[in-house]
Each structure stands twice: as structure tokens, then as C-alpha cells.
Amino acid sequence: MPADMIDSTAFSPSVNGRPIRWAAATGLWHFEGTKASYLGPAADSPHPYGIALSDRDLTDGSVQIGIKLSSPNVSAGVILGFQSERSRYIVAQLGAYERAYTVTEFVPGLGWRGIELVGLAKNLEAGREYEVELRKIGQEIRMTVDGVRVIESILAEPLGGRQLGLLAFGPATVDFSELQVHSASPRVFVAMQFGAPFDTLYQEVIYPLVKEQLGLSLIRMDEVAGPGIVFEDMKRQLAEAQIVIAEITAPNQNVFYELGYAHALNKPTILMAQRGKELPFDIRSYRVIFYDDSIGGKPALERSLRKHLEAILGEAQSA
């Protein structure tokens, strides 16, 4: 084991009573109660940073944590989507790249890439604890510091992993406190033409399966209420979805636009069409669930749709 891979674990009670297990993966760490402290890099390590991993996963939901930097020469934040140090993950930090608030992405083979860099690090106060909240819904990331939203961004593609961790960079200490994790149900976006017979398909097959049986959140644009621009609402709802179901029997421009936007975000998509439908050339290579628009066809469609949904959810959980 390399010298900077410290075999150290600890349990800390979370606010809701469920203990959090920590493991120091890189650098020197100390865990006590509800606190995790980065002590600096190992003396003989070529890596001037530390990573601590938790036993908590997050697909959709929010994370709250207190972060106290002891010096202007250190940065720190929360890791989302961790699988390994050689896989893609993101970090929302205080003080990185001489900026106050950042969301950065580690890309294997390419290194670090800035997604959002906001403010100046010199405005951060050493020794002050900042309350940081991260909200991840689908590919939308929001970072709030002391109750003020400072970053809102959409990731170019879904995260492959789900594990939560901490990262600190630099020679000085960082204190983390009171980690809280709140999970939310993954969202499924349904792109389909409105009206008969598609409303019946939605109400009798898609809604009962996705919402009632699998317990997932379900979005269809005609059910989105409130003020705003429909086009912007559509982009936000798609960004927040983990899975997209598209019924493409009818040559509906809105449906194909939503499907195209989902593909641009690299969303897992499930295509459905009535049997005998001639598909557009540019999506013929995609796997499609063909179904019969009949009473007997609905149970078969439900079985196929369940299989696809569970396969996608299973891949996300095993990542």
C-alpha cells in the first residue's frame, strides 16, 4: 500500500442518528464524532491533497456540511459520483483555483476541468466555518454557501458513480462537520404526444408502473405548472431526470426535440412505438420497445418497460 493510502476508518453519528463510516483514502485524516479533519498530505506522498470516502451514496438529493479552511493556501469540498481515483467524478469546493466557489470535474486521462468558477478565494475567511449545501438532481448541480446560491450548472453527461467523499488540497488543515445526506427519488421524464390514445397509455401503463410500483418521480410536460417559459422548463426537467421514456409513434416535433436534447445530455433513454411503426432513419439503430395498442398488449408493454427501467437503475446502483 502506498504511504499516502492511509488505512484508517471511523464511525461518526449523523444528525439523524444513522452512523456514517469514513475511510481515509489519500492523505492524512482524523475522524471524531461528527467531524472529519484533513491534516495534510503524507510526508512522502507526491500528491498534495487528501480524499476521505464515506459509506453514503447519492444518486439524487442534497448534501449539507460545514467546511472550515485554516489557511488561504488550502481548498476543500465534497466529492460526488466517486468510483475510484481513476474514474470520472466531480468536486464542489471552496478556495480552489484562486476562486471562492468552484465545481470541477476529474476526467481520466485528461485531469481536472473547471465546470463553474465563481468569485475570488481572497474573499473567503480562514478559520470561519461555511455552511455548504449541494443539490444534485439528475445532471443539475446547485451549490449554496451560507444560504446563498452561488453555482447552478448542468453536467454534460450523467455521473457513473454514486459514492460521496471529501477532498482537501494543500498543506494546511481543513475541518468538516455535520455531514447530512438527504436522498430523493430518481426522476423519469416522459416525452410523448398528448391526447388519445397516448393519454390512456400514460395513465394505464406508464404512471402505475413508474410512480406506484417502482416509486420513482414522474414528469410529463403537460403536468408542469407555474409561470415561466415552457422551453426553459423542458430543458430543466430533462436535466433533472435520470431516465427518459419517449413514445415515438406519432411524428411529433416536440417529442423528437425532447428526445434530441436528452441524447445531447447522454441520458439513458427508453424508446417506445406501436408495432409496425416506420421509424425515422436517424434513430433506427436504437433499441425500441414495440407494442400492440390493445388490451392484451398493455401487460406485455409493462413487462418490457419494467425490465428496461430496472436494468438502467441497476447499472446506476452498481456503478
Note whether 268 and 242 are within 8 A (CB).
yes
Higher-pLDDT residue of 151 and 19 is 151
pLDDT score of 113 more than 80: yes
pLDDT on residue 80: 97
Residue with cell 470535474: 105
pLDDT score of 205 more than 70: yes
How far is 66 from 195, CA to CA, in rounded Å? 49
Domains of the chain: 8-183 (2.60.120.560), 187-318 (3.40.50.450)
pLDDT on residue 34: 76
Q: In a 3-state reduction of DSSP, which class is residue 255?
A: helix
pLDDT score of 227 more than 80: no
pLDDT in tens, 233-272: 999 999 999 999 999 998 899 999 999 999 999 999 999 9
pLDDT in tens, 69-85: 999 999 999 999 999 88
pLDDT on residue 296: 74
pLDDT score of 6 more than 70: no
Question: What Cα–Cα distance (Å) separates residue 305 from each residue in 8, 138, 215, 302?
Answer: 44, 20, 14, 5
pLDDT on residue 47: 80
pLDDT on residue 123: 97
Nearest alpha-carbon partner for 313 in 155, 135, 164, 185: 185
pLDDT score of 128 more than 50: yes
pLDDT on residue 85: 85
Question: What Cα–Cα distance (Å) separates residue 34 from each residue in 6, 22, 57, 267?
Answer: 20, 11, 18, 36
Residue with cell 436534447: 261
How far is 176 from 35, CA to CA, in rounded Å? 6
Assign 162 a pLDDT band (cuts: 50, 70, 90): very high
Q: What is the mean pLDDT of the chain?
A: 89
Note whether 83 and 163 are within 8 A (CB).
yes
Q: Where are the alpha helices (DSSP H) in 96-249?
A: 198-201, 207, 230-240
Q: Give residues with Cβ within 8 angstroms of 139, minimum separation 6.
A: 154, 155, 156, 157, 158, 239, 240, 265, 267
Cell output for 133: 449545501
pLDDT on residue 13: 42
Residues 133-159, mean pLDDT to the nearest whole number: 97
How far is 168 from 69, CA to CA, in rounded Å? 9
Note whether 36 and 103 are within 8 A (CB).
no
pLDDT on residue 317: 55
pLDDT score of 10 more than 50: no
pLDDT score of 4 more than 60: no
pLDDT score of 5 more than 90: no
Distance of CA 282 to the CA centre of its chain: 29
Percent composition of the chain: helix, strand, coil (DSSP 3-state, to 5): 25, 40, 35
